C-alpha cells in the first residue's frame, strides 16, 4: 500500500575472528559485526474454518547463535562505513567416507493439493474476472464476516498444491493466510485459514522445510499505542488446515505510522538466514534455523541511507532496492550473517520505482509516478550492472514479477503483462482491471491473480483472471546461476543460487533435485549436505559446513526433479562447476 512519506546504531569492537573470517571467505567478506539484541513473542489463531485456539508463544533474544558452519555470531549491527567483520572460521567439511546416495529427483514428499490451474479458456474469456478471493474459509465470506474486513491483498504463491493468499492491511490487526484449491480457477475452494492480529501486508513470501515441518515468514507489527513494535513473524504451514503463528521477532528501530521510513517491507528466506528489508533501518539478518526461536544476528545500515524495500538473495549476492527511490545496492553475503558492500554493485535506475524483482540475471523495476511501466537492468555481472530497457505506460507502479519471457506489473489503475522476448523492446500484451489500488498481478499458470491493497470493492480485493488460453505445460528452466559457471577462487562459505524461468513448487526443490558434490567423484561419497530454500523463482543451496579449499564442485539439477506450480518438471538436466579458493 502506497502512502505519503510522512539514528540508531551500535558498533561493537572487532573480534580476533575477523582476520580468520577474511582468510576463509575472501576480502569482500570483511566488515564489522556488532549491535543490539531483540526480543520476540507470538500470538495468533488458526483452523480450517478460520477460527481456533491460540498458537504457542515463544520469545527470542539477540543472544549468540551458531551459524551454518558452526561458528558463533551474536546479535549485531554492521555499518556501511565499517570495515572489519567477525564471521565463520571453520574449514572442516571432509566428505563422509560412507556412501550416501542421492534419492531420485522426483521422490520428494507429494503435495496434498491438486496444484495449479488445469482449465483451458476461450479467447473471449481472457482478461475477464472469473472468480474473486476473499480471506477466510467458505463459511466466513461475505457480509458479517469476522476475517479480512479490510480487503487489503498483495501477492499470492502456491504451496502444497494450494494457492496461498496472505491478507492484511499495512497496520496489521485483522490478518491471516487462506489456502485455496484453484485447480478449477473459476471455482476456487477455501481449504484452510489461519489468522493473526500482528501480520502486516507482506510483499514477499517464501516457505522453507525445517526438521520435517514447513514454515513461512511474513512482516509483522503490533498496533498497540503507545507501544508500537514490529519485525517479522513465522508461521507453521505444514498442515494448510492448521496454519498458525509460532513466533515473532521484533527488530530495533521499527516505527509506525512512518509508512515507509522505519518499518519492515520484505523478508527473504535464504535458509538458514532471513534477510529483512527495513526501510531506513537497512537490512536485518535473522538466524532462523529454529523458527520457534529466531535470533537477530546483524543489522546492516547504509551510508548514505537507502530506504530498503525489496531484498532478495541469490548465492552470495543480496539485492536491496529502494522503496520509492532510484537506488539499488548489491551486497556481498559471502559471510551470510555480515553483509558487505560489493565493489561496483551500487547503481541508480532511470526513474523512481516502488518495488523490484530479479530473474534470469535481470533486475525488474515497477516505476512510480513519471510514467509507470517497466525498467530492466542487467545484473548478471553484479560488479558491473547495466541498463537494458525503460518503458513508460502512463501508470504508477507497485510490484513486479517474472514468468518465462513475461513481466507482470501492477500499476495502480490497471495491471499490465509485458513481453520481454526481444529486449530492449518491451511490449504490452494484456491488461487487467480491478477496482481499488491495483498494485499486484501474480502469474499462476495460465491465470493471473489481481490484488488491490486499498479501496477494494467489498470482498473483491483479489480476482482470478485468465491470461492464456492453454493450461501451462511448459517446463521450468534455469535462467541464471551465481556463482557463475566456471568461477574460481570461490569462498569456502559460498552458497549457490539459481533463478528459474517461473515460480517453483517448494517441495520439488530438495536433496534429490538440487545436488552439490565434488567434480569427478562418486556423488554418493562427496555429496555436500545443505539447506535448500525457494523464494518465488529463486532456489538457494547453502552448505551446512565450509567447502574444501582448492576443490572443484558440481551443482546438478537432474531432469524430472524441480517443478513449477503445474507439476511441469525440469526437462533437461542442468550442471555447473566452480572451484574454491586455496
DSSP string, 290-339: STTS-EEEEEEE-SS---EEEEEEETTEEEEEETTEEEEEEEE-SSTTS-
If you search the block for the grid coordinates 546492516, which residue do you land on?
Answer: 300
Question: Are residues 294 and 60 in contact, defined by beta-carbon separation less than 8 angstroms?
Answer: yes
Class of residue 37 by CB neighbours under 10 A (exposed 0-12, middle 13-18, buried 19+): middle
CATH number of the domain that residue 502 is part of: 2.60.40.1220
Q: What is d(CA 227, CA 243) in angstroms, rounded to the nearest whole number? A: 27
pLDDT at 285 over 80: yes
Residue 550 within a domain: yes
CA separation for the pair 274, 251 (Å, rounded): 13
Q: What are phi and psi of 241, to 5 degrees?
A: -90, 0
397 in Cβ contact with 323 (< 8 Å): no
pLDDT tens-digit profile of 270-284? 999 999 999 999 999
Q: Is residue 558 part of a domain?
A: yes
The CA distance from 240 to 262, in Å, is: 32
Residue range 71-98, pLDDT digits in tens:
333 333 444 433 333 333 333 455 556 8
At 222 the pLDDT is: 82
556-579 pLDDT tens trace: 999 999 999 999 999 999 999 999
Q: If you search the block for the grid coordinates 505506460, which residue do you land on?
A: 393
Q: At 475, phi and psi to the nearest 5?
A: -70, 150
Residues 539 and 541: their CA atoms lie apart, in Å, by 7
Task: For residue 199, give the 3-state DSSP assignment.
Answer: strand
41 in a structural domain? no
User: What is the distance between the alpha carbons of residues 562 and 555, in angstroms, rounded to a whole number?
Assistant: 14
Q: Which residues pair with 132 in a beta bridge?
A: 463
221 close to 229: Cβ distance less than 8 angstroms = yes
Cβ contact 63:76 at 8 Å = no
- Residue 267 forms part of a structural domain: no
Contact 192, 178 (CB under 8 A): yes
Per-residue pLDDT band at 59 (split at 50, 70, 90): very low
Return mean pLDDT, the chain: 84
Instruction: Write down the pLDDT at residue 137.
Output: 55
29 in a domain, yes or no? no
At which residue does the C-alpha cell 517474472 appear?
Answer: 402
pTM value is 0.85
Boundaries of domain holding 499: 490-580
Is the pLDDT at 1 greater than 50? The verdict is no
Residues with Cβ within 8 Å of residue 500, at least 6 apart in sequence: 359, 476, 477, 478, 479, 537, 538, 539, 562, 564
Q: Quick check: is 494 in a domain? A: yes
44 close to 1: Cβ distance less than 8 angstroms: no
171 falls within a domain: no
pLDDT tens by residue, 500-525: 999 999 999 999 999 999 999 999 99
More confident residue, 152 or 201: 201
In a domain, residue 526? The reply is yes
| Rounded-to-integer distance, Cα 78 and Cα 535, Å | 25
Count of structural domains within the chain: 1
The counts of H helices and E strands in the chain are: 2, 39
Q: How many CB atoms lie within 10 A of CB 429?
A: 10
Q: What angle do CA 171, 175, 181 make, to 5 degrees?
A: 140
Per-residue pLDDT, 25: 39
Q: Tell me how long the chain is.
A: 582
List C-alpha distances in Å: 263 to 20, 37, 230, 340, 451: 35, 17, 7, 22, 22
| Cell reading at 143 | 457480509
Amino acid at each position: 500500500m502506497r502512502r505519503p512519506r510522512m539514528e540508531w546504531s551500535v558498533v561493537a569492537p572487532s573480534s580476533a575472528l575477523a582476520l580468520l573470517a577474511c582468510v576463509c571467505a575472501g576480502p569482500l567478506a570483511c566488515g564489522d559485526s556488532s549491535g543490539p539484541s531483540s526480543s520476540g513473542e507470538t500470538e495468533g489463531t488458526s483452523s480450517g474454518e478460520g477460527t481456533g485456539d491460540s498458537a504457542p508463544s515463544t520469545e527470542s533474544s539477540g543472544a549468540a547463535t551458531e551459524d551454518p558452519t558452526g561458528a558463533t555470531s551474536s546479535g549485531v549491527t554492521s555499518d556501511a562505513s565499517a570495515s572489519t567483520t567477525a564471521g565463520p572460521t571453520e574449514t572442516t567439511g571432509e566428505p563422509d567416507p560412507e556412501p550416501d546416495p542421492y534419492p531420485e529427483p522426483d521422490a520428494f514428499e507429494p503435495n496434498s493439493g491438486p496444484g495449479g490451474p488445469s482449465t483451458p479458456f476461450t479467447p473471449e474469456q481472457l482478461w475477464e474476472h472469473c472468480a474473486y478471493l476473499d480471506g477466510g474459509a467458505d463459511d466466513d465470506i461475505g457480509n458479517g464476516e469476522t476475517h479480512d474486513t479490510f480487503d487489503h491483498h498483495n501477492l499470492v504463491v502456491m504451496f502444497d498444491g494450494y494457492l496461498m493468499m496472505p491478507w492484511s492491511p499495512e497496520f496489521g490487526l485483522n490478518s491471516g493466510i487462506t489456502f485455496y484449491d484453484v485447480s478449477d480457477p473459476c471455482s476456487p475452494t477455501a481449504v484452510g485459514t489461519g489468522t493473526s492480529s500482528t501480520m502486516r501486508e507482506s510483499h514477499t513470501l517464501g516457505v522453507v522445510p525445517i526438521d520435517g515441518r514447513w514454515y513461512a515468514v511474513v512482516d509483522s507489527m503490533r498496533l498497540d499505542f503507545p507501544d508500537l513494535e514490529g519485525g517479522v513473524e513465522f508461521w507453521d504451514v505444514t498442515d494448510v488446515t492448521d496454519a498458525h503463528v509460532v513466533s515473532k521477532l521484533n527488530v530495533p528501530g521499527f516505527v509506525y505510522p512512518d509508512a515507509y521510513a522505519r518499518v519492515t517491507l520484505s523478508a527473504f528466506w535464504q535458509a538458514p538466514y532471513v534477510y529483512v528489508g527495513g526501510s531506513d533501518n537497512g537490512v536485518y539478518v535473522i538466524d532462523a534455523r529454529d523458527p520457534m526461536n529466531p535470533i537477530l544476528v546483524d543489522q546492516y545500515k547504509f551510508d548514505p541511507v537507502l530506504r530498503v524495500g525489496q531484498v532478495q538473495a541469490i548465492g552470495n549476492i543480496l539485492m536491496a532496492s529502494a522503496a520509492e527511490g532510484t537506488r539499488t545496492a548489491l551486497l556481498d553475503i559471502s559471510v551470510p550473517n555480515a553483509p558487505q558492500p560489493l565493489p561496483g554493485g551500487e547503481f541508480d535506475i532511470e526513474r523512481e520505482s516502488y518495488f523490484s524483482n530479479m530473474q534470469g540475471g535481470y533486475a525488474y523495476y515497477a516505476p512510480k509516478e513519471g510514467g509507470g511501466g517497466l525498467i530492466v537492468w542487467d545484473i548478471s555481472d553484479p560488479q558491473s550492472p547495466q541498463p537494458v530497457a525503460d518503458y513508460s505506460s502512463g501508470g504508477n507502479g507497485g510490484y513486479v514479477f517474472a514468468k518465462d519471457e513475461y513481466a507482470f506489473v501492477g500499476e495502480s489503475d490497471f495491471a499490465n503483462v509485458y513481453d520481454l522476448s526481444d529486449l530492449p523492446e518491451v511490449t504490452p500484451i494484456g491488461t487487467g482491471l480491478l477496482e481499488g489500488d491495483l498494485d499486484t498481478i501474480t502469474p499462476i499458470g495460465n491465470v493471473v491473480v489481481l490484488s488491490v491493497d486499498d479501496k477494494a470493492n467489498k470482498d473483491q480485493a483479489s480476482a482470478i483472471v485468465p491470461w492464456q488460453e492453454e493450461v501451462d505445460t511448459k517446463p521450468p528452466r534455469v535462467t541464471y546461476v551465481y556463482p557463475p559457471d566456471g568461477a574460481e577462487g570461490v569462498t569456502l562459505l559460498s552458497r549457490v543460487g539459481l533463478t528459474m524461468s517461473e515460480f517453483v513448487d517448494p517441495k520439488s526443490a530438495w536433496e534429490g533435485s538440487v545436488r552439490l558434490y565434488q567434480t569427478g567423484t562418486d556423488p554418493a561419497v562427496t555429496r555436500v549436505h545443505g539447506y535448500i530454500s525457494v523464494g518465488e523463482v529463486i532456489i538457494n543451496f547453502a552448505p551446512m559446513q565450509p567447502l574444501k579449499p582448492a576443490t572443484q564442485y558440481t551443482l546438478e539439477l537432474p531432469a524430472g526433479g524441480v517443478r513449477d506450480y503445474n507439476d511441469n518438471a525440469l526437462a533437461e538436466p542442468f550442471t555447473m562447476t566452480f572451484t574454491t579458493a586455496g
